[in-house]
Structure 1
């Protein structure tokens, strides 16, 4: 009887994951190097920006308030102003207007994203998605012009209504006697910022909603759940961290906005909670753009110090968003 043997699969055959002699091995190595270089470039760029801000802002930090006031026109120690106090006022105004924008834009964005992903017919969903993406391409100066020419006059009667019936709440207190509603207040800037960040939050949230496993949705519907109950039990839990990440991206966009806020708001430097009164608030980016053309060397250093504060705030916001998203990475639609 003749016994036939088959050649062993080990030894004579290369391992399944051995690409050393593969025709595309060199291309794989080049692509890996390019990808690694791109990732390192991001870190180098971030480190370069941080280093530049620290180096340029350091003279303003180590100078005494009196010396700084003598060299910088917008710092007046005799009026009780110092660089750190101005930065505090600007951070307060920036955060206040960004939070107003976030409170307005987040529920609207989630509702639009949910309608596009789960309720609208396909053609309508595609059209709405295109229009939402188109909003993100509108320059901020256009939003500022529209806000000043259209939105502010339209909102003045509404502000008067809020002041008449909710004026006992500090947020909605009317201007002092003798002043009129100009509409160029933190509330108007917050509404324009909300419109500007709406496409960012909507686009990211829509993609997260679309990643919800179809089997989860079908299982909920098969158990007798309504469409809303299916969304509440299947879509929202899956997309929760993705929605948080999208919201934080919108917040980062609002924190750094310059032209729209600068064109709309009547600036001031206070810690006032009155969002319907002019000459109360300003943002870091808007203040830098306003003072930079006439600043001398020390003035530029002071403005860079303000930019450093904004850089740190934006970095913290993004790190916080990433931490929230990573907590649920094993079943998150954002990952």
Structure 2
């Protein structure tokens, strides 16, 4: 005959089994809902990107059909003239060179700041410095533009003249009509704008380095710099590349600051001290209000090219990160 104790134990076991089954069922249902939500979010992003591309192509086609010049190689921008003649050669050149110069200037400084905060600075200083660096990312573009126009451009006049007088044998610093409202000035302003993005992401990556790797290097007698070189930088390489590409993406699409700092001038030149130049975003900001129907279509066509360039940059960054998965 089964005792009361055995019956009670069986009842308790059955209750535990039912509770576990309910928990497992709830967890599976939650997983399914989460999977559907994340998949839907990913699909929604692709749909939005496709919708943007379709809209840009739809609005740009009439202007492209009316263009009498070569859209890719022409430096002229007269979309509302008769006949319409416009091209993106100068805009593409100005956008790419200013953004890459900004990236070259900002990336080493941003990574150095991230390393200092993560491994060298005392905790109190590191916390305050991190806050200040992150705060720079919240400054609106118009503030950078006003600061660049009212203060920085005047300082860069003297810098441009000095570089042109003493280093004109370098093609970038040669030429005439040098001044503060140049590609170099716009690049410096862009570098300041993207610096907090690169620094913040790099700092987060460095803080994810396994402590065992650092301790192992220290146990072998490595100095602090050797620890960074052997344990930290290899681990964070893909993260640093991602941070730099995000900064480059902002630099490529920056509008107001560049439009305020850079004076508009026609023609492509490698002399970054020469006043004048143009970029996709600055050209759209400066001319959209006064453009006619065909001019707006031409500006949208240039925006489509900028959209494609940004996609290419991000795809290249993704490919670079994928090759470094072993360090993630």
Instruction: Provide TM-score, normalisation by structure 1.
Output: 0.85
Matches within 5 A, 1:315-326: 315-326=311-322
> Which string of whole-angstrom CA distances, capped at 9 and with x for unpartnered residues, describes residues 30-55 of structure 1?
44433332222111111111111111
| Separation in structure 2 between the aligned mates of residue 218 and residue 26 of structure 1, nearest angstrom | 43
Answer yes or no: is the 8 Å Cα contact 1:241–1:324 preserved in 2. Answer: yes
| Separation in structure 1 between the aligned mates of residue 67 and residue 115 of structure 2, nearest angstrom | 54
| Separation in structure 1 between the aligned mates of residue 225 and residue 80 of structure 2, nearest angstrom | 55
Answer yes or no: is the 8 Å Cα contact 1:241–1:325 preserved in 2. Answer: yes
Q: CA deviation at 1:266?
A: 1.0
Question: Cα distance 1:273–1:38, how it changes in 2: closer, same or farther (>3 A)?
Answer: same
| Number of the residue aligned with 1:252 | 249
Q: Is 1:34 matched with 2:30? A: no
| Separation in structure 1 between the aligned mates of residue 22 and residue 30 of structure 2, nearest angstrom | 15
Instruction: Provide TM-score, normalisation by structure 2.
Output: 0.87
Q: Specify which of 188, 203, 206 is matched with residue 209 of structure 1.
A: 206
Answer yes or no: is the 8 Å Cα contact 1:201–1:247 preserved in 2. Answer: yes
Q: CA deviation at 1:82?
A: 3.7
Alignment length, in residue pairs?
311
| Number of the residue aligned with 2:294 | 298
Q: Any unmatched runs of 5+ in structure 2?
A: 1-8, 72-76
Matches within 5 A, 1:49-198: 49-65=52-68, 73-74=78-79, 82-83=85-86, 86-175=87-176, 179=177, 181-198=178-195
Q: Specify which of 39, 43, 47 is matched with residue 46 of structure 2.
A: 43
Question: Cα distance 1:146–1:64, how it changes in 2: closer, same or farther (>3 A)?
Answer: closer
Answer yes or no: is the 8 Å Cα contact 2:182–2:273 preserved in 1. Answer: yes
| Separation in structure 2 between the aligned mates of residue 21 and residue 212 of structure 1, nearest angstrom | 37
Question: Cα distance 1:21–1:104, how it changes in 2: closer, same or farther (>3 A)?
Answer: closer
SS of 1:273's partner is coil
Question: Cα distance 1:271–1:239, how it changes in 2: closer, same or farther (>3 A)?
Answer: same
Q: CA deviation at 1:270?
A: 1.7
Answer yes or no: is the 8 Å Cα contact 1:65–1:77 preserved in 2. Answer: no
Q: CA deviation at 1:77?
A: 8.2
Q: Any unmatched runs of 5+ in structure 1?
A: 1-5
Q: CA deviation at 1:27?
A: 4.7
Answer yes or no: is the 8 Å Cα contact 2:160–2:179 preserved in 1. Answer: no
| Separation in structure 2 between the aligned mates of residue 308 and residue 169 of structure 1, nearest angstrom | 34
Q: CA deviation at 1:126?
A: 1.1
Answer yes or no: is the 8 Å Cα contact 1:258–1:286 preserved in 2. Answer: yes
